Amino acid sequence: MRDKYREGTKLFGNPLTHPLNLILIFNCLVFILQYFAGQLLIFRFALIPDFVLSGAYWQLFTYGFLHDTSSYFPFHLLLNMYGFYMLGTYVIPALGKLKFTLLYFGAQLGGGLFVLFSAFINTQLGGDIPLLDNPSAPTIGASGGVFGLLAVFGLLYPNSELFLLVFRVKAKNAVWVSLLVGYAIGFLGNSSISNTCHLGGAIAGILIFRLMEKRIRSASLPTLPGMDWDREDEPVRQKPKSILPKAEDLFSDQKKANETILRELSKLASFEQIEDYLHDKQVVNANICPPSTYNSEDPICLRCEWLPNCALRKAKG
């Protein structure tokens, strides 16, 4: 009875046990816990490069479940979860549930590794480079995984259009335009956007997708404008060749025969020899053209079965 109840309970059109819903629900539950735990969850589970290098390796993964709780409106959580669910709805049919889950968390891990590497480089260079990460600053949010999905969405539906802020952009360019805007904001002012995490998530998503790509079939994708996807392992349909011969082919044998006749005639010197050669080649009851129209170099004459008749008449003068 419980199994039937679970199968019948759905959220946004999918069963509760669907990966999209499980990840969504878990992020929301963690967000609620953050209100009660205060900064404790940030301290323990956010990605702080200094802590990771000291042994807190789990933070490379757990940071993706935490979101900003500094305001009453959960803008950070809603933005990430909307992007996750919207993109996931179109990506998951191509990959399947298991591969989709691996892609999302792999991109999340890739974003964390990029943040760690960026902070390490910043430390080695003195720690004052603004576009690199601060080794003591926490990074939180699911956007690393979301950017991985965004990158893959752009590969599957390259010419679809997405809204970024107030303008449209092709899906194949969405990741790079978003990163450009993010870095511009970070360069011009004090921003909490983790562009390094976004970049790492996108690159990791593309790499993971390339490993899975051979098993994907375009027929499994939902219909969406801009789905230009040619698979190498799916033969391109070619128009069937016509079974009817071309006009040139219909007369090729007759043309060759007439050219042979004309070559042989050019070797003969007397009318008697010409008449003897053409005698067996005459077509009975041939409705030949007027004498003035005969031309041995004319393409029409060369393809005419009555050419021996016309040639003999010309020889007679």
Rounded Cα–Cα distance for residues 203 and 58 (Å): 21
Phi, psi of 41 (to 5 degrees): -65, -35
Chosen domain end from 220, 238, 261: 220
Q: Sort residue 268 into left (φ over 0), alpha (ψ -120 to 50) or beta.
A: beta
> Tokens standing for 32?
């609620």
Quick one: 215 and 252 in the same domain? no
Q: Which of 219, 197, 205, 233 is nearest to 99 (CA)?
A: 205
Range of the domain at 256: 247-316
- Positive or negative: CA dihedral 148, 151, 155, 161: positive
What pLDDT does residue 232 have?
41
Q: Do 20 and 104 contact (CB within 8 A), yes or no?
A: no
255 and 163 in one domain?
Answer: no
Tell me the CA distances in angstroms from 266 to 256, 260, 269, 295, one per residue in order.
Answer: 16, 10, 8, 14
Is 226 within a domain?
no
- For residues 206 and 270, membership in a common domain is answered with no
What is the pLDDT tens value at each position of the chain, 317 positions in all?
455 445 568 887 889 899 999 999 999 999 999 988 878 899 999 999 999 999 999 999 999 999 998 877 889 999 999 999 999 999 998 899 999 999 999 999 999 999 999 999 999 988 778 788 899 999 999 999 999 999 999 999 998 888 877 778 999 999 999 999 888 887 777 677 899 999 999 999 999 999 988 766 555 566 655 554 444 444 445 555 555 555 555 677 888 888 888 888 888 888 888 888 888 888 887 778 887 778 888 777 888 888 888 888 888 87
Domain shared by 185 and 296, yes or no: no
Q: Which residues pair with 95 in a beta bridge?
A: none
- Residue 81, in any domain of the structure: yes
